[in-house]
A and B are shown apart, each in its own frame.
Chain A
């Protein structure tokens, strides 16, 4: 089941990208997402693509696997490209397809926007592919730390995030188990009219909700039994550390940013 869905699925490894501090990864990706919108020349796009694809390659996550995860997005990218082809009416007329006039600027813009899109998704999915959910929430908690001063419940938010991330695989397994049990009692999830299929979901959803609530209650009880009372004064088993590798990456990223502004038109 769901073998084509890789969002949030961690691929274990020991590559450079895996070893980066998750805070560095989030920060670099955050700024990368911002600067992607500044690129406006072939050279500047090339530079960003080189960075993105280089990062993906050095993560050692199988290429086939990354591409498979992007399948749902390919359609969106293609759609954007085609939309630009037909809507943009600037530059020289390239050809006329049964009344649809395709202009040079349309092709250029379509390609640029699609590339932007591709890079954004590639880099962000690289984060979840090379970082465990726990690392991500730890990093977010640290990065949002300053907001504690304005009484923002940072720890609670991070806890909620890590609990929900933790239970995604559990719920997926549960869904699979229950849907198999109901399938063997004659429920057909795949064929039939739309109404039939909606009806087929009830025997799946009810048990799923029941077990999710039960789990939540048990978890709350277990946490209370072990004396959990929020983030105040809590220490961490795994401390995040910024190392040499992180500084090297910052340096590299600054070079890319400078390069980008030099190659812009």
Chain B
């Protein structure tokens, strides 16, 4: 589903001494099937922006289009339920939302609410558990007996079981160990490709944004600060530093290689180790010719 933000502003508690403008005149669009990373500092409005995608908040000004659904300031949307079925949101620390007696029941909760048939639900539980690598013997256990990492997988399965077309991820790997982080992100990336999802990832990790996204939006104080492909964005070191964001290690490495050795290597998703090998090969090759 194509998603567009058209001059969206959002104000918390308008008219009180606690009034706070979280979003200011936001306009950008997301193409169906793309993987978009939204980055920005704490308090830059990322979470507020993301809640618009699910109709959890209504724009104070402007309009949001999500496929055939529209959220317009001051108008009531009567199709919120359908919208929420199509757009699955994995919130920060999603394991805090678990409540059922068994893992299987918790995964089934979303689909049940949207009126999916019982037989279909059984299938979806299996599929979702498989996607998140939850072993089957956990399905009948209480979610509160599991480890933190397993609880996270249960909560993510619960969202995947809704079979959403748009997947919204709010720092889905926060608080996990490095290998767990990689596994979960790789899983999302795989699902994104195999199910042709539109994925929106809110993250603090520049590395993830570079590795997975094909479009990046940087928010700063509730406004769109920069927008573009990862390579375009990460070329602008100074602009990033102005909003306290770092350049990913790999890009930083490439820039330094170019500066010090006058060698220009194209970035094609390599890791630092792979780049080092490539570089070594080039240097050695150069010597052979002498």
Is the CB of B211 closer than 8 A to any CB of chain A? no
Give which listed residue, A61, A186, A210, contacts B114 with CB less than 8 A.
A186
Is the CB of A80 closer than 8 A to any CB of chain B? no
Query: Are A184 and B56 CB-contacts (below 8 A) given A3-B16, A207-B96?
Result: yes
13 contacts between A and B (CB under 8 A): A61-B17, A64-B15, A174-B96, A182-B97, A183-B84, A184-B54, A184-B88, A185-B113, A186-B85, A186-B114, A188-B113, A202-B99, A210-B144
Q: Mark B13-52, 1 if CB is under 8 A from A, else 0.
A: 1011100000000000000000000000000000000010
Query: Are A186 and B84 CB-contacts (below 8 A) given A3-B13, A65-B16?
Result: yes
Query: Is the CB–CB distance between A184 and B89 below 8 Å?
Result: yes
Q: Mark B162-175, 1 if CB is under 8 A from A, else 0.
A: 10000000000000
Give which listed residue, B89, B94, B99, B162, contacts A206 with CB less than 8 A.
B99
Closest to A186 in B: B113
Give which listed residue, B13, B88, B99, B159, contacts A207 with CB less than 8 A.
B99
Residues of A196-219 at the interface with B, using a CB-CB cut-off of 8 Å, are 202-203, 206-207, 210-211
Is the CB of B235 closer than 8 A to any CB of chain A? no
Best-surrounded residue of B56, B99, B109, B159 (most CB of chain A within 10 A): B99
Is the CB of B98 closer than 8 A to any CB of chain A? yes
Give which listed residue, A68, A180, A188, A203, contacts B99 with CB less than 8 A.
A203
Query: Is the CB–CB distance between A207 and B17 below 8 Å?
Result: no
Query: Are A187 and B144 CB-contacts (below 8 A) given A3-B13, A178-B97, A207-B97?
Result: no
Which residues of chain B are within 8 angstroms of A206 by Cβ–Cβ distance? 99
**A177 CA / B54 CA spacing, docked (Å):** 14
Which residues of chain A are within 8 angstroms of B113 by Cβ–Cβ distance? 185-188
Query: How many Å from the CB of B111 to the closest CB on chain A?
Result: 8
Query: Is the CB–CB distance between A177 and B99 below 8 Å?
Result: no
Which residues of chain A are within 8 angstroms of B98 by Cβ–Cβ distance? 207
Is the CB of A62 closer than 8 A to any CB of chain B? yes
Query: Are A181 and B17 CB-contacts (below 8 A) given A207-B96, A207-B98?
Result: no
**A261 CA / B13 CA spacing, docked (Å):** 44
Give which listed residue, B15, B51, B159, contacts A185 with CB less than 8 A.
B159
Closest to A6 in B: B16
Query: Is the CB–CB distance between A184 and B16 below 8 Å?
Result: no
Query: Is the CB–CB distance between B110 and A181 below 8 Å?
Result: no
**Nearest 4 CB-CB pairings of A with B:** A186-B113, A206-B99, A185-B110, A181-B97
Query: How many Å from the CB of A200 to the closest CB on chain B?
Result: 9
Which residues of chain B are within 8 angstroms of A64 by Cβ–Cβ distance? 15
Query: How many Å from the CB of B115 to the closest CB on chain A?
Result: 9
Query: Is the CB–CB distance between A177 and B96 below 8 Å?
Result: yes
Query: How many Å from the CB of A216 to the closest CB on chain B?
Result: 16
**A184 CA / B17 CA spacing, docked (Å):** 30
Which residues of chain A are within 8 angstroms of B114 by Cβ–Cβ distance? 186
Query: Is the CB–CB distance between B91 and A180 below 8 Å?
Result: yes
Query: Are A185 and B158 CB-contacts (below 8 A) given A203-B99, A207-B97?
Result: yes
Given contacts A3-B16, A177-B96, A186-B84, 13 further A-B contacts (CB under 8 A): A65-B17, A178-B97, A181-B97, A184-B54, A184-B84, A184-B88, A185-B97, A186-B112, A202-B99, A203-B97, A206-B99, A207-B97, A210-B99
Which residues of chain A are within 8 angstroms of B94 by Cβ–Cβ distance? 181
**A181 CA / B99 CA spacing, docked (Å):** 12
Query: How many Å from the CB of A177 to the closest CB on chain B?
Result: 7
Give which listed residue, A177, A183, A185, contacts B109 with CB less than 8 A.
A185
**A178 CA / B99 CA spacing, docked (Å):** 11
Which residues of chain A are within 8 angstroms of B110 by Cβ–Cβ distance? 185-186
Closest to B168 in A: A184
Q: Mark B73-101, 1 if CB is under 8 A from A, else 0.
A: 00000000100110111010010111100
Query: Is the CB–CB distance between A181 and B162 below 8 Å?
Result: no
